[in-house]
Structure 1
């Protein structure tokens, strides 16, 4: 008679632990809570099933605290069947902006600073964007330079002027956006 008490490999469970499953469910519940806080326009842009979308909308309309808690838990349950990674990715882009957008804005800031510091930068910009309104850009650069000079003389605690500084940035952004859409 064999009294071997070692378990065979058939009896071992190799799936996720109970704790891991619980962490994943809580993560989906948290994501569901974030979805409930989103405006309807953004919800429509996400890859949500009809059931999940309706459950979120119902949670948004629920005024009772306990009813809202139950509805959010139901949304979390429905999230198990949703593409959570795609939803998280889109929400991250909304929250932080995409890296490409951030890099593009940094390039525009650098370009604005060059324009304010050096007249040659405008010549290079106009060569790159021949359809740009050179007179408007010159006016913004001149006003931005005056603003910088004014801000240098401010006392501590006084707010600097940034109107023309921002206007120049917006003009560069509009110029950049117009060439991307062509």
Structure 2
């Protein structure tokens, strides 16, 4: 009998398998914790925000169940672990991207509110000068209404009354500038 010869193709296939990266137990746990934290952020979302995230029915059901469980109970922790386990078998990149978009929208809204607050405070402090500069940038604003609200806000501030006119000015600026 002739001894079988070594097949070079078989030896090359073993070389390819050596290139596969194996994860340590610590790395696997870190990934599981990251997925569980992602699951927590999904559970904490509002209903309208959760609707914007691409989730399959099984994962969505697990998230909805976690919302019903009291947070201080052991069942909540186990449900979060289940959500993390379910997420291991799914592509989480679209979910992470949707969460980033939601957070980005919140940031933009907060920044817009802060800018309007600063504008309102500057109008109250600087008066007509700031009103005219703002009207140059935002022609839809009503000059007379702005002046009236600024005068009322300054009067209320001087009399130590609640800042009702200041709030109205903010509301008016927000309505016209943001919509």
TM over 0.5: yes
Task: Report if aligned partners of 1:32, 1:76 keep a CA contact under 8 Å in 2.
Answer: yes
Q: CA deviation at 1:90?
A: 4.1
Bigger Rg, structure 1 or 2? 2
Unaligned runs of 5+ in 2: 1-14
Aligned residue pair count: 160
Query: Under a length normalisation based on structure 1, what TM-score does the superposition of the two structures give?
Result: 0.69
Equivalent residue in structure 1 for 2:150, among 132, 135, 141: 141
Alignment-derived partner of residue 3 in structure 1? none
1:63 to 1:25, Cα distance in 2 relative to 1, 3 A: same
Q: Residue 128 of structure 2 aligns with which residue?
A: 119
Structure 1 residues 128 and 62 mapped into 2: Cα distance closer, same or farther (>3 Å)? closer
Q: 1:25 to 1:166 in 2, by over 3 A?
A: same
1:171 aligned residue = 172
- Between the aligned partners of 1:145 and 1:85, the Cα distance in structure 2 is 47
Q: Which segments of 5 or more consecutive residues in structure 1 lack a partner in the other structure? A: 1-7, 152-159
> Post-superposition shift, 1:119?
0.9
Map of 2:163 onto structure 1: 162
> Is the alpha carbon distance of 1:90 and 1:161 closer, same or farther for their aligned partners in structure 2, counting shifts above 3 Å?
same
1:5-64 per-position Cα deviation (integer Å, ceiling 9, x unaligned): xxx997586444321221121121122133223332221122222221122112333469
Where does residue 54 of structure 2 map in the other structure? Answer: 47
Q: CA RMSD of the aligned region, Å? A: 3.0
The aligned runs of 1:40-119 (5 Å cut-off) are 40-62=47-69, 65-80=73-88, 81=90, 82-83=92-93, 84-90=95-101, 92-93=103-104, 97-98=106-107, 100-116=108-124, 117-119=126-128
Native 8 Å contact 2:66 2:79 kept in 1: yes
Q: 1:162 to 1:55 in 2, by over 3 A?
A: same
Deviations 1:117-158 (A, max 9, x none): 23122223333333323332222111111133234xxxxxxx
Superposed displacement of residue 165, structure 1: 1.9
